[in-house]
Amino acid sequence: MILKVCTSLLLLFLANSVWTRTVRQVYGDLDPDHWSHYTSECPQECFCPPSFPNALYCDNKQLKEIPAIPARIWYLYLQNNLIETVSEKPFVNATHLRWINLNRNKITNNGIESGVLSKLKRLLYLFLEDNELEEVPAPLPVGLEQLRLARNKISRIPEGVFSNLENLTMLDLHQNSLLDSALQSDTFQGLNNLMQLNIAKNSLKKMPLSIPANTLQLFLDNNSIEVIPENYFSTIPKVTFLRLNYNKLSDDGIPPNGFNVSSILDLQLSHNQLTKIPPINAHLEHLHLDHNKIKSVNGTQICPVSIALEEDYGYYGNIPRLRYLRLDGNEIQPPIPLDIMICFRLLQAVVI
C-alpha cells in the first residue's frame, strides 16, 4: 500500500515537473513587467493570451461595439458578436493590424465609417462574412491579400473598388445577390495577382466578364448560367480549377471545344442539363458530370487523343491524364465501356 502511494506521488511529481517546465517554456520569454502591461491594456471584454501578445480575442462576447485596440495587436478576432458599426476611434492606435475577423455580426455599409478600412495600411486579411452588407465596402486597404464577403446581401460592386488591390490573391463573394449587371467589364480591373475568385450562389445567368488573367480557381456553382461564350477561357489561360455545378448548361450552350483547355485540371459540371460529355483536354485529371441527362458514354468519341495513336506511343506519348470520372445520377447503365479504360489508362476511380 505504501509502495503504491509512493509510486503515485512520484508520478504526480514528475507530471507536475513536466507541466511546470512546459509552462516556463511558453511564458519564460515574457518579461513580467511586459506581461502586466499586456494585461492592463487588454480590453476587459476580451482575452489577451500572454503567449500570443499580438492577438486579441473578442469573439463570442455579445459585443455591440468594437473596443479600443492596443497598438501591439496584429490579429483581431471579433466574430460572432452583435457589432453594427466600424468606426475609426477603436483603431486609432492599431497601426499594425494584419488580420481582422468580423464574421457573423450585423454590419451594414452605412455602419462602416468612411475611409476607416483604407486607413489600416498594413491589413492583409479582412473577413466580413455573414453580415448585412449590400455592396462591397470601399475604399479598401491597398495591401489586402484576402477579402472574404460571403453570405451578405451584396448586389452592387462600386466602380473601381478593386482597382488598387494589386496584392489581392483571394476574393470570396459567394452567396450574395449579384446579378449579371453588377459585373461590368472593368469590375475586376486591377486584380493582377488574383488566384481564387468565388462567385458561387449568386444570380448570374452569364459567365462574368473580364476575369483577371492570373486566376487559377474560378467557382461559379449554384447560379443560372446557360452559355459558355466562344473562347471564353483564352483570357484566363492559367485557370486550373473550374466549378460550374448546379447551373443550367445544356449541350447547345457549350462551344465545340469550350472545355478543351490545357490548363484545366479539375472540371466540375454536376447538376446541369448535359446529354453528352463535352470534348475535354488530355491534361484534365478530374471530371465531375454527375446528375445530368447523359444516357451513354462512347470512349472513342470522348477520348481527347486517338486511341490508335495512344497504342503506338504507349505511356511515353501524350496519353490522357484523367484519373477521376464521376457519372452517377445520369441514365448510364453499367458496365463501363471498355474503350473508356483503353483511352483513360490512368483512371483510378469511375463513379457510375
C-alpha cell at 134: 449590400
Per-residue pLDDT averaged across 123-149, rounded?
Answer: 98
Element (H, E) at 324: strand 324-326
**36: Cβ–Cβ under 8 A, 6 or more apart, which residues?**
none
Give the phi and the psi of residue 184 in degrees, each rounded to 5: -85, 175
Share of the chain above pLDDT 70, in %: 86
Q: What is the pLDDT of residue 238?
A: 98
Pick the more confident residue, 23 or 193.
193
- What's the pTM? 0.87
Q: What is the pLDDT of residue 20?
A: 33
**Residue with C-alpha cell 446541369?**
272
Say yes or no to pLDDT of 10 above 60.
no
Q: How confident is the model at residue 337 (pLDDT cuts 50, 70, 90)?
A: confident
Per-residue pLDDT averaged across 245-256, rounded?
Answer: 97
Of 111-115, 158-162, 311-315, 334-338, which range is least confident?
311-315
CA–CA dist 114, 110 (Å, integer): 9
DSSP secondary-structure letter at 314? Answer: G
Q: What is the CA radius of gyration of the chain?
A: 27
Contact assessment for residue 305 and residue 264, using Cβ atoms and an 8 Å cutoff: no
Q: What is the pLDDT of residue 17?
A: 39
What is the tens place of the pLDDT at every residue in 267-321?
A: 999 999 999 999 999 999 999 999 999 999 988 889 999 866 555 545 445 799 9
What is the tens place of the pLDDT at every residue in 95-121?
A: 999 999 999 999 999 999 999 999 999
What is the tens place of the pLDDT at every residue in 25-53?
A: 333 344 444 544 455 689 999 999 999 99
Q: What is the CB-side half-sphere exposure of residue 275 using CA atoms within 13 A?
A: 4
